Structure 1
C-alpha cells in the first residue's frame, strides 16, 4: 500500500513537563525525512507547520496544565489529519509532545467510522499515558492522551472530533512500556488495555510481541502507529524529555518497525516527543528517521521473502 504521504509539523511542547519538543518537527526535517521517504518511491508533500498558542508555562488549573492551549493545538491537528485522510493520503505527524496523539488518533478514528474501517493503534512508548488529573500531580497532559481518547478526562479533550469516546481500549496495543504510576497501573488493568511491557519483550522477544500486537488485522484494518521517541532506550536516543532506561535496542526497534511494514496496513503515523534541546548532534532525530524508513519498507532482510 503506497499511499502518498503528507508531513504535518506540530511545533508545540504545550503538554510536556520540559520545553524543547516544539523543535522536533524541524529536527526531523533536518535529518532528511522527506528525502528518505522519496528514495523509496513515495510521493511526499510537506504541509509545513500548524499554528497554535504559545506555551504559557503555567502551573495546573483544576488538575490540568494549559488545557485551553492543548485543546486548540489538538483541534487544529484533528482537522489537518482528517483532511489528509479524506484525500486518500497517509499523514505523518511530526511532534511536538505526545498530548497531540489526541488530535491525530481522534481524526483517524473518525475517518474509520466514516469509511467502515477497523482501527488498530500501536502505541510505542515508555509510558502508558493513561493518567487522569486525579492520578497525576503534575497536570502535564502528555501523560493523559490514551485515557482522554478512551473517554476519561475533561469534555473539551474527550470530545475532540465530535465522538466520545474517540476509541475503545480494545483497539490499542501498547509496546515498550516501562514507567507507569501506581494509580495509573490500576486504571490500565481496570479498563483492560493490552500492554506489552519491557518485561514481556525481554521474556518473549520482540518478534513474538509484534505477532501478538498485530494479530487479528485484515485488509479492512487501518493501522495507526503512535511512536513516542522515548520508546527507545536512552542510550541510543537521548533527545527526549522523559528518558526511561531499559528500552528496546536498535535491533529490537528495527524488527518492530519492519514487522509493521510487512503488514502493508500502515495508514497514519505520529512521531512524538523528539526534543532536540536534549539531543546530541541531532542523533535521535537521525535514528527516528532511520526507523521511519523501516516502517516504509527499508529492510535488512537478505533472504528471499
Structure 2
C-alpha cells in the first residue's frame, strides 16, 4: 500500500462505562510498539499525544447518561482534532479509551466525508440511547448518536444532526445485542454480520460481501472502529465487557488484510484495551498486530 502520513491520537477516557482502567489503553498500545511497527512498514507516523480528559466529578451529572459532561468534553476535543488531521491530509489513527470516543471520531470525519462508510468490528451493536440502555453507559451508544439519536449534547458534537447514514454501516462480530438495539437494527435495515454468519459463511465471504456492500453505496471513505472485545476473550482478555464465542485471532488478521487490500480505508480507531484487566499486555499486543495487518504489514 502507499506510505501514509499517520497521526496517532490517544483518548485516555474510561467515563463511558463503569470499569476503571481503560483510560490507560492508549499508553498500553504505545508500549506494545504501535508507532515503531507502523514506521517499520514504511509509514510516516506522528504521535500527537493524548487529548485532555477532565475529571468527570467536576462536570455535568445526568440521571440516565453516566458521566455525560466528561464524555461530551472529550469527544468535542477529539472531533476537532480529527477534523484538523483530515484537513492536513493525514490518516487519523485513534487509540482508546472506551468506545464512547467514536462519537468524537465520527463527528470529526463528518466534516470531510458526506457519505462515509463505517465498519464496526465489535461484540456489541452500541446503538442504545438513554431510554433503551440497561446501564446508562455511553460506550454502548456511539452508533445511535452518530445516526442522530440520543441526547442533544451528544448528537450536536461537531455540528448538529446525524454524522453517518444507517445504510452505510456494517457491524461485524455482533453477539451481545440489547432488545432496543435489535429493534433499531430492524427499523433501519442495518447490515449486521453476527457470529452466526461468520461461522456459517467464513470471514473471507463476510468481508468480501461487506466491502462490496459499501462499494455499492458509493461511500467516499471507510472508517474502521475496532473494539478489542470483538475478538474472543481467549485472545483479548483485557477488555471491560468480554463476550465468549467471538472472532478468532486468525480471522481478525484476515479481515484486516482484506480491508487493507481493498484500498478504501481512510481512518481507524482501536478501543477498549484495559491493561488493568489484561495479562502481560496481551490485548494491547493484539491491537498492534492487527494494526500492522490493517496498514500493510506482510511476511514477504
TM-score category by the smaller chain?
A: over 0.9
- Give matches, 1:1-305, under 5 Å: 1-56=2-57, 61-113=62-114, 118-215=115-212, 216-217=214-215, 221-299=220-298
1:137-169, CA deviations, whole angstroms, 9 ceiling, x for partnerless residues? Answer: 311000000001101101111111114011111
C-alpha separation in 1, matches of 2:57 and 2:231: 29
C-alpha separation in 1, matches of 2:17 and 2:58: 10
Question: Retained in 1: the 8 A contact 2:61–2:69?
Answer: no
1:166-221, CA deviations, whole angstroms, 9 ceiling, x for partnerless residues? Answer: 11111110000000112221122112111111101111110111011111428973
Please report the TM-score for the alignment, with normalisation by the length of structure 1: 0.93
Question: Retained in 1: the 8 A contact 2:9–2:49?
Answer: yes
C-alpha change, 1:82 and 1:192, in structure 2 (3 Å) is same
C-alpha separation in 2, matches of 1:236 and 1:42: 27
Shift of 1:56: 3.3
Q: Secondary structure at the match of 1:39?
A: helix
User: For structure 2, which runs of at least 5 residues remain unmatched after alignment?
Assistant: none
C-alpha separation in 1, matches of 2:175 and 2:4: 33
Count of aligned pairs = 297
Please report the TM-score for the alignment, with normalisation by the length of structure 2: 0.95
Q: Secondary structure at the match of 1:112?
A: coil
C-alpha change, 1:284 and 1:267, in structure 2 (3 Å) is same
Question: Retained in 2: the 8 A contact 1:229–1:288?
Answer: yes
Question: Retained in 2: the 8 A contact 1:7–1:94?
Answer: yes
Shift of 1:42: 0.2
Shift of 1:61: 2.5
Question: Retained in 2: the 8 A contact 1:159–1:166?
Answer: no
Shift of 1:27: 0.3
C-alpha separation in 2, matches of 1:220 and 1:82: 18
CA RMSD for the aligned pairs?
1.8
C-alpha separation in 2, matches of 1:237 and 1:152: 31
C-alpha separation in 1, matches of 2:197 and 2:286: 24
